[in-house]
Amino acid sequence: MMKHDSYPHYWVNHLSFLLRRSLVQRFEAEGLDVSAEEWAVLLILQSVPDLTATELSDRSMRDKTTITRTLDRLERKGLVLRLRDTKDRRSVRLSLSPMGQAVFEELARIAQGLIKQTLAGIAPEDVEQALTVMKRMAANLTEEQHGL
């Protein structure tokens, strides 16, 4: 018999749910109307600007339709800019708007508080080991999908 809570997969999913819920509650408490999905997109665009929607879709592991809807919402909120690529006018590049950068700084401050809370009492070497294990698990799935 499989006991659901004896697998790391259950705890990864459980933690993901708790993190998303807590993050959105903290954003709302600060008067910021940003979903967890939108935060994930802003985080990627802040660290890797000038991506196309396809590149963003690949990095976020979300389908193109979901990314397009998320980008539409972020653009309506004034947080993301879609700009034609100067070298290839068929391509649209994405970046944070000036307002998006300012809002990102507030969101990052809030997210850092959540990260600090979740890591409280956990030794740095345990965090490193957990990262190593999760990266290996992800690589196992990636290799499977690519037939390696």
What 8-state DSSP symbol labels residue 113?
Answer: H
Provide the pLDDT for residue 6.
85
- How many C-beta atoms lie closer than 10 Å to residue 106's C-beta? 14
- Domain boundaries of the chain, sorted by first residue: 4-145
User: Residue 33 is which amino acid?
Assistant: D
Provide the pLDDT for residue 148.
53
Provide the pLDDT for residue 4.
83
Each residue's pLDDT tens digit, 91-128: 899 999 999 999 999 999 999 999 999 999 999 999 99
Longest dimension (CA), the chain: 58
- Partnered with residue 92 across adjacent β-strands are 84
Q: Do residues 95 and 83 make contact, with C-beta atoms less than 8 angstroms apart? A: yes
Residues 6+ apart with CB under 8 A from 52: 85, 91, 92, 93, 94
What's the CATH fold of domain 4-145?
A: Arc Repressor Mutant, subunit A (1.10.10)
pTM comes to 0.85
Any alpha helices (H) in 30-87, and if so which ranges? 36-47, 53-60, 64-76
Q: Across the chain, how many H-helices and E-strands are there?
A: 6, 2
pLDDT means over runs of 10, the chain (148 residues): 85 94 97 96 94 92 94 97 82 94 97 97 97 93 69
Q: What is the spatial distance between Cα 92 and Cα 51, in angstroms, rounded to a whole number?
A: 8
